[in-house]
């Protein structure tokens, strides 16, 4: 069917509201605020929760702070309405909010855009953030677009092929209807259904009567912070559907922009596509159809290491990468990469030399920037989520308490050569919960045998961290009574332990260990997680490797015996 035979896009300006329709849907926004108050589609008068305030149905919002201040929540409402385009094929609207220095507001000019196309069962939205040179300092901690869907219709959520279920209602978690757990929203919460940028191009909700789907389609993560492994919130109890462009979840403030010294900045967040579909058969067809609407911007190398990144905007870039099974980060050395309009750049052969000082004596785990390969226990049977019994078992509630129950009399001891890390290395190195409810540090012991200890040379302990929330690791060799040979200090604000995550920000520590601390025969390395201020502090290990000095030194030492 040609586009000319399809209904045109029509714009109506009713003073306080503007309405866009295209024969598939009708989209109503406040004027000049640009808050979405109603979406009519598929026999449902309003897909959004009509009982909410108009600013709490479909909206853009951010969280910001002054350099030393607390977070400020801001629903972005425009003060100036402009029609950017109005044809039978496309309507694009602008809802602009300039910065007013006399008001307490984030120092940004923000332009929200909404686009409806002819023949498309949905609409696009994006936002332009602009900070001219010389404006005041601030931190930008969250940017997202949120949709609060109608409770009367939407109760089935779909995140992936294997994560789909009927969801509870918000009132099911009211104190009179539920048990208070470790923190608010601890079970069936938004963190259980979070996902990595690289694998969340579509998610959303389904209404069974009538059969209608509401889907958030994200074509790319190039406009999101954190790269392919950054975890963000998606859909969750509400029913709520999100597209998070920038946020501190599973990464802390490290990934949040901090603007200082009058720095100029401009960025486009989006576009994302809200896709609507309907069916006369079953709900599975809605999900399968929604998946076909997604497309990706990023790339992954093939088995020979070849890759191509298409549709890159003109500009100057650095190239980063990592390889599953290999520790550390790759960064292309030398000049940055400059991409011109319509041009291409041949990178040639790129060689990554990962950190290594000598042969591996032993290792624990597979380096993939995740703790998923370690032992994840079964949860308390009272709190089992059936959705995560056979997949992503780390998303079960209360696993941080299971360590104290499993290792009730002593801390974890791992013996190289006989222990197996998939079942003998607990996936969280956190705290011990004492009988009085208080917390204490935990010390794990790694036992290993050395045929040769070279006294005057350095060994290397590589500790790859998949995530940390105020963790503090102290490393001891063969004695806990002596001073530690290495201390990380308190680091990380990933909060992955409480938020049912398996990784946060990746870090790699390389620890030099004097051969004089070692001996021929049995040895032990102790790892103490020293921070014990809450049940949610600790680290998620990715991989631990112990290296001997270089081969030449080993051969020389062996020949002198």
User: Per-domain residue ranges for the chain?
Assistant: 3-291, 360-556
Buried b (16+ CB within 10 A) or exposed e, 475-490: bbbeeeeeebbbebeb
CB 467 within 8 A of CB 371: yes
pLDDT of residue 555: 58
Which helix (H) or strand (E) segment holds residue 554: the answer is helix 551-559
3-state secondary structure 383-408: HCCHHHCCCCHHHCCCHHHHHHHHCC
CB 536 within 8 A of CB 495: yes
CB 218 within 8 A of CB 243: yes
Query: Class of 3-291 per CATH?
Result: mainly beta
Alpha-carbon distance of 16 to 257, in angstroms, equals: 35
Contacts 24+ apart (CB under 8 A), 280-288: 280/211, 281/211, 282/211, 283/156, 283/206, 283/208, 283/211, 283/213, 286/206, 286/211, 286/212, 286/213, 287/158, 287/161, 287/164, 287/206, 287/213
- If one counts every other C-beta atom within 10 angstroms of the C-beta of residue 224, the result is 21
**Dihedral sign from CA coordinates of 202, 298, 497, 532:** negative
pLDDT of residue 398: 92
Residues 6+ apart with CB under 8 A from 206: 154, 156, 157, 158, 212, 213, 214, 283, 286, 287
Q: Give the HSE-up count for residue 415: Cα atoms under 13 Å, Cβ half-sphere.
A: 4
12: preceding bond cis by omega (within 30 degrees): no
Q: Which residue in 117, 118, 121 sits closest to 3, CA to CA?
A: 118
Q: Which residue in 311, 264, 292, 268 sits closest to 129, CA to CA?
A: 268
Alpha-carbon distance of 283 to 157, in angstroms, equals: 11
Torsion-angle region of 178 (φ positive above 0: left; ψ -120 to 50: alpha; else: beta)? beta
Alpha-carbon distance of 147 to 243, in angstroms, equals: 9
Query: Class of 360-556 per CATH?
Result: mainly beta
Alpha-carbon distance of 540 to 471, in angstroms, equals: 9
pLDDT of residue 558: 57
Q: What angle do CA 359, 364, 367 make, to 5 degrees?
A: 85
Residues 6+ apart with CB under 8 A from 524: 445, 446, 447, 448, 477, 478
- What's the Cα-to-Cα distance from 253 to each of 91, 106, 136, 158, 329, rounded to whole Å? 37, 17, 19, 29, 21
Q: What angle do CA 243, 153, 162 make, to 5 degrees?
A: 55
Identify the DSSP state of 478: S
pLDDT of residue 559: 55
CB 323 within 8 A of CB 355: no
pLDDT of residue 281: 86
Q: Is it true that 3-291 and 360-556 share their CATH fold?
A: no
Q: What is the pLDDT along the chain (561 residues), one digit of tens a residue?
A: 556 789 999 999 998 999 999 999 999 999 999 999 999 999 999 999 999 999 999 999 999 999 999 999 999 999 999 999 999 999 999 999 999 999 999 999 999 999 999 999 999 999 999 999 999 999 999 999 999 999 999 999 999 999 999 998 888 877 788 777 877 666 667 888 999 988 889 999 999 999 999 999 998 777 888 888 899 999 999 999 999 999 988 888 888 899 999 999 999 999 999 999 999 888 999 999 999 886 554 578 888 889 888 877 788 888 888 999 999 999 998 888 888 888 888 889 999 999 999 999 999 999 999 999 999 999 999 989 999 999 999 999 999 999 999 999 899 999 999 999 999 999 999 999 999 999 999 999 999 999 999 998 999 999 999 999 999 999 999 999 999 999 999 999 999 999 999 999 999 999 999 999 999 999 999 999 999 999 999 999 999 999 999 865 655 555 555
Alpha-carbon distance of 187 to 194, in angstroms, equals: 13
Alpha-carbon distance of 307 to 302, in angstroms, equals: 7
Alpha-carbon distance of 28 to 58, in angstroms, equals: 10
Return the biggest CA–CA distance within the chain.
Answer: 92
DSSP E strand boundaries for 290-348? 315-317, 320-321, 330-331, 337-339
Q: How much is the mean pLDDT over the chain? A: 92
Alpha-carbon distance of 216 to 234, in angstroms, equals: 9
């Amino acid at each position: 069917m040609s586009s000319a035979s399809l209904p045109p896009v029509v714009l109506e300006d009713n003073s306080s509201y503007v309405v866009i329709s295209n024969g598939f849907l009708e989209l109503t926004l406040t004027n000049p605020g640009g808050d979405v108050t109603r979406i009519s589609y598929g026999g449902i008068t309003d897909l959004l929760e009509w009982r909410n305030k108009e600013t709490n149905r479909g909206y853009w919002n951010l969280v910001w702070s002054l350099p030393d201040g607390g977070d400020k929540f801001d629903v972005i409402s425009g003060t100036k309405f402009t029609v950017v385009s109005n044809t039978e094929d496309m309507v694009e609207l602008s809802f602009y909010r300039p910065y007013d220095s006399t008001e307490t507001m984030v120092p940004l000019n923000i332009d929200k855009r909404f686009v409806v196309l002819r023949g498309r069962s949905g609409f696009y939205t994006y936002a332009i953030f602009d900070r001219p040179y010389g404006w005041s300092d601030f931190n930008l901690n969250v940017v997202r677009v949120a949709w609060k869907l109608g409770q009367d219709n939407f109760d089935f959520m779909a995140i992936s092929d294997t994560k789909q279920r009927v969801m509870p209602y918000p009132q099911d978690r009211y104190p009179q209807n539920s048990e208070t757990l470790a923190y608010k929203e601890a079970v069936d919460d938004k963190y259980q259904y979070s996902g990595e940028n690289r694998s969340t191009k579509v998610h959303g909700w389904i209404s069974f009567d009538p059969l209608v789907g509401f889907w958030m389609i994200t074509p790319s993560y190039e406009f999101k912070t954190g790269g392919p492994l950054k975890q963000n919130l998606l859909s969750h109890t509400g029913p709520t559907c999100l597209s998070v462009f920038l946020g501190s979840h599973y990464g802390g403030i490290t990934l949040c922009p901090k603007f200082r010294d009058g720095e100029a900045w401009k960025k486009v967040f989006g576009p994302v596509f809200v896709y609507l579909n309907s069916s006369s058969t079953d709900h599975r067809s809605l999900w399968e159809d929604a998946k076909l609407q997604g497309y990706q911007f990023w790339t992954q190398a093939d088995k020979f290491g070849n890759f191509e990144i298409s549709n890159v905007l003109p500009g100057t870039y650095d190239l980063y990468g990592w390889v599953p099974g290999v520790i550390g980060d790759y960064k292309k050395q030398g000049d940055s990469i400059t991409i011109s309009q319509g041009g291409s750049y041949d990178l040639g052969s790129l060689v990554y030399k990962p950190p290594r000082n000598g042969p591996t004596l032993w290792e624990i785990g597979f380096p993939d920037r995740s703790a998923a390969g370690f032992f994840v226990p079964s949860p308390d049977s009272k709190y089992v989520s059936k959705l995560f019994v056979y997949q992503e078992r780390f998303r079960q509630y209360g696993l941080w308490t299971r360590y104290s129950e499993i290792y009730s009399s002593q801390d974890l001891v791992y013996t190289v050569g006989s222990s197996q890390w998939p079942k003998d290395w607990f996936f969280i190195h956190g705290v011990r919960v004492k009988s009085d409810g208080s917390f204490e540090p935990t010390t794990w012991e790694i036992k290993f045998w050395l045929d040769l200890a070279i006294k005057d040379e350095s060994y290397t302990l590589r500790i790859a961290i998949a995530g940390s929330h105020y963790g503090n690791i102290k490393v001891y060799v063969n004695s806990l009574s002596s001073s530690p040979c290495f201390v990380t200090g308190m680091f990380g604000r990933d909060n992955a332990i409480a938020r049912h995550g398996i990784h946060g920000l990746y870090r790699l520590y390389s620890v030099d260990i004097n051969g004089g601390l070692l001996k021929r025969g049995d040895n032990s390395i102790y790892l103490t997680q020293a921070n014990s201020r809450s049940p949610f502090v600790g680290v998620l290990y990715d991989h631990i490797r112990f290296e001997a000095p270089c081969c030449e030194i080993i051969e020389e030492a062996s020949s002198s015996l």
